[in-house]
Amino acid sequence: MTNSSICPRFEKGMQILSKRWSGLIISQLLSGPHRFCSIEASFPISGRILSERLKDLEQEGIVKRDVYPETPVRIEYSLTDKGKALAPVIREIEIWSSNWIELEKNSNP
């Protein structure tokens, strides 16, 4: 790792949150547990990428995966306490975005 004047923990946190779709997935899970298909339906994201991001977030201890032994098997994703602690950060980004980010005329709101 190169020498940096930035705090290594801050840098690691930004790397986790800046991966494409990670912030949106966390934001989605703030409302409670979701199944894979409901998360996938919320964003224009491929199943492969969503699976990768969920695994990354699970490995970081931000998301947990609960498997319910039903027929068919039900799997839900939810935030851990570490993930829920991101709520104020996500909310502030939402506020900042609505105040400062302009969408292009042909973009969806």
Closest C-alpha among 15, 33, 13 to residue 79 = 33
pLDDT in tens, 43-61: 999 999 999 999 999 999 9
Find the mean pLDDT for residues 20-44. Answer: 96
Q: Give residue for tokens 């990428």.
A: 49
Which domains, from first to last, does the chain contain? 17-98 (1.10.10.10)
Residues 61-94 pLDDT 10s: 999 999 999 999 999 999 999 999 999 999 999 9
Query: How would residue 99 be classed by pLDDT, with cut points 50, 70 and 90?
Result: very high
Strands 74-79 and 63-68: antiparallel
User: What is the pTM assigned to this prediction?
Assistant: 0.86
Position 107 scores a pLDDT of 57
Q: How far apart are the first and last CA of the chain?
A: 39
Phi/psi at 41 (nearest 5 deg)? -70, -20
The DSSP symbol for 35 reads E
pLDDT for the residue numbered 105: 79
